[in-house]
Structure 1
Amino acid sequence: MNLQDVALFLVITETHSLTQAAKRQGISAMAVSRRLASLESELGTRLLQRTTRSVSLTQEGMEFLPYARALIEAESGARALFSPSTQGATGLLRVTAPSGFGRRHILPLISELLSENPTLRIDLRFTEDVVDIVGKGFDVAIRIAPLKDSTLIARKIADNPRIVCASPEYLKTIGMPHRVDDLLKHHCLRLSSVPQWMFERDGELLRVGVDGRFSSDNVEGVRELCTQGLGIAQLTRWDVMKEIRNGTLVEINFVDANPQALSVWAVLPTTRYLPLRVSTFIEKLRSSLVPGSQAEFVLPGRS
């Protein structure tokens, strides 16, 4: 397989245009079309749908995309392996993560990662949405949620159960809830994306509708008002561990249910070839959360 044609395929998927890909590569649009056709002929399948204005991936193209990236990464890694100027991880690392977790636990690692790997570049995107990491070209997505069945691969980094908490001042004024139903009597600060709070009881998932005067689409807003004593919140362990440790928030335990068990996952498009920059990032994050722990790959939905 001609790796130059594979690299050109990746450029086309980034520009969504044969013409723009031709300009970027410094060749004619006809040459781009001819080399793409050659790659498709070699693979025996159509990778892209062409129109007069744009191109889009076929289903087969979507499936080939992570392998194409892996092929180019493998070539780049092999060249870097024997380059005397190369130290550590190289290339562009593209990461997507939830904003609250990312700002508190990933951003503090960036300076050290860049210092330890002089030729590494990092593109970090914060979003609460589930991103199509294959289609958007991300190397890894950090997710904190039960994972659904997928063709993607997930690596568990750390346990991260939900935690119900409140400030000492709020609990002193309003009182400590002891049973899940007691939450109906309290001011609950809620994430907009989580209309119901999740608990586990006798191995079953329990959904509890809560009410309150404030909701937000980001963890920081809910956590801030919770520390100010405006109500009770359900966040995850790594969202509030700092506040629990310094006493500005108190964890609430219930006699009739436990908050839902979750984990921090690194979701990858494939592990057939894992670039050094990706494994370096994952291990840096894992060691910062759970020093000395052992991470493992699993299929989403089978953890």
Structure 2
Amino acid sequence: MMDLAGLALLVETASADSLAAAARRLRLSPMAASRLLAALERDLGVRLVHRTTRSLSLTEEGHALLPHARAMLEEHAVALASVRGRGAGASGLLRVTTSFAFGRHVVAPLMADFLLAHPQVQVDLHLADGLVDIVAEGIDLAIRIATPGDSSLVGRRLEDSPRLLVAAPAYLDRRGAPADLAGLAAHECLTIAGTPHWSFRAGGDGRRMKVAGRFTANSIDAIHEACRGGLGIANLSAWNLKADIAAGTLRVIVLADAVPEPLGIWAVYPTRRMVPPRVRLFIEAVSARLKAAG
């Protein structure tokens, strides 16, 4: 039977592209890591890793073993959790990705409580506004504000994510507020680059409205800041706007004939037979934080 410690080292090495980095994550000395990998290769009778002084890559056999290694480690973690109880089996490195805005407002603030409750878990949080290939990047969990369209992923809807049209008082004083959906065409609308349409619900039906403005960005945070600065109207998630609305920094625009289409907050993870306890518990922590925030 293959040694689980060796399989864990292979998985970490593939993720980090470095045996030294994998050793640090697993709290092994470089010498112990090299011996562990060599022992695994010896047991299997194949080379799993190409190593030079400057680079490291998996061999064809290493790539073939990788998904099986991950599955075996997950099965082991789930088995331990079933014996020890729901929280006691949570351990290992949890790699999470989400957008900058959601990471700043929701995910990062819950980290202290989560890590305190689960002392055997480590978290590596990766913030990116673009779509991250979680399989290729070795990510355990993505929190996305959207409806996942990739059939190779498993998703759990955590909460609705209502959206609001907002603008700064300075912009509304200067340009006024649109009264209806058609009125948006006369306004500066702040959009994500490459997505010049906003979705609305109008009389129970879906409507896509083409909008435009002089400023686009590839970051929700940049759109938010531009909106605060009075550059135009933005269509943003309600959870991202509470402080601004309360302070009067931004005002909500209500259209007479339509409301922005709500999205969903989804926990997305690679298709696997079992979800590791650390992933399941983190999803529960995010869900609880969202419910508490109302």
Name the SS of the counterpart of 1:141 in structure 2. strand
Shift of 1:96: 0.5
Q: Which residue number in structure 1 is paired with residue 33 of structure 2?
A: 25
Query: Number of matched residues?
Result: 281
Q: Secondary structure at the match of 2:122?
A: strand
Q: Per the alignment, do residues 114 and 16 of structure 1 end up closer, same or farther by CA in structure 2, a change over 3 Å counting? A: closer
In percent, how many aligned pairs have the same letter? Answer: 35
The whole-number CA distance in structure 2 between the counterparts of 1:15 and 1:93 is 13
Contact 1:13 1:57 in 2 (8 A): no
- What letter matches 1:95 in structure 2? V
Q: Deviations over 1:175-200 (max 9, x none)?
A: 12022222222222233353332334
Query: Which among 198, 202, 205 is matched to residue 203 of structure 1?
Result: 205
Alpha-carbon separation, structure 1, partners of 2:38 and 2:275: 34
**Aligned pairs for 1:199-278 within 5 A:** 199-201=200-202, 203-212=205-214, 214-270=215-271, 272-278=273-279
Output aligned runs, 1:8-87, within 5 Å.
9-11=10-12, 13-14=14-15, 25-27=33-35, 33=41, 35-36=43-44, 55=57, 65=66, 68-76=69-77, 78=79
How far the C-alpha of 1:32 sits from its partner, in A, is 5.3
| 2:77–2:89 contact (8 Å) kept in structure 1 | no
Q: Is the 8 A contact 2:81 2:277 kept in 1?
A: no
* Counterpart secondary structure, 1:142: strand
Distance, in Å, in 2 between the alignment partners of 1:152 and 1:76 is 21
Q: Equivalent residue for 1:301? A: none
Q: 2:2 aligned with 1:2, yes or no? A: yes
Q: CA deviation at 1:205?
A: 4.3
> 1:26 is paired with a residue of what secondary structure?
helix
1:65-99 deviations in Å (ceiling 9; x for gaps): 5553232133245557778xx95732211100011
Q: List gaps (5 residues or longer) in structure 1.
A: 40-47, 294-303
Does the residue aligned with 2:109 lie in a helix, a strand or coil? helix
Quote the residue 1:190 is aligned against: 191
Where 1:290 maps in the other structure, the secondary structure is helix
Whole-angstrom distance in 1 between the partners of 2:293 and 2:191: 34
**Cα RMSD for the two superposed structures:** 3.8
Q: CA deviation at 1:8?
A: 5.7
Which residue identity lines up with residue 25 of structure 1 in the other structure?
A
- Secondary structure at the aligned position of 1:188 is classed as coil
TM-superposed CA distance for 1:144, in Å, is 1.2
Name the amino acid aligned to 1:150: S
TM-score in terms of structure 2 length = 0.77
Q: Which amino acid aligns with 2:96?
A: V
SS at match of 1:235: strand
How far, CA to CA, are the matches of 1:15 and 1:122 in structure 2?
A: 14
- The answer for the alignment partner of 2:129 in structure 1 is 128
Match of residue 166 from structure 2? 165
How far the C-alpha of 1:114 sits from its partner, in A, is: 1.6
Q: Equivalent residue for 1:117? A: 118
Q: SS at 1:281's partner residue? A: helix
> In the alignment, is the contact (CA less than 8 A) between 1:9 and 1:36 conserved in 2?
no
Return closer, same or farther for 1:165/1:273 CA change in 2, 3 Å cut-off. Answer: same
TM-score between the two structures when normalised by the length of structure 1: 0.75
1:203 CA drift (Å):
3.1
Which 5+ residue runs of structure 2 have no aligned equivalent?
Answer: 23-29
Deviations 1:234-258 (A, max 9, x none): 1222222332344432222323333
In the superposition, relative to structure 1, how do residues 23 and 36 fare at CA in structure 2: closer, same or farther (>3 Å)?
farther
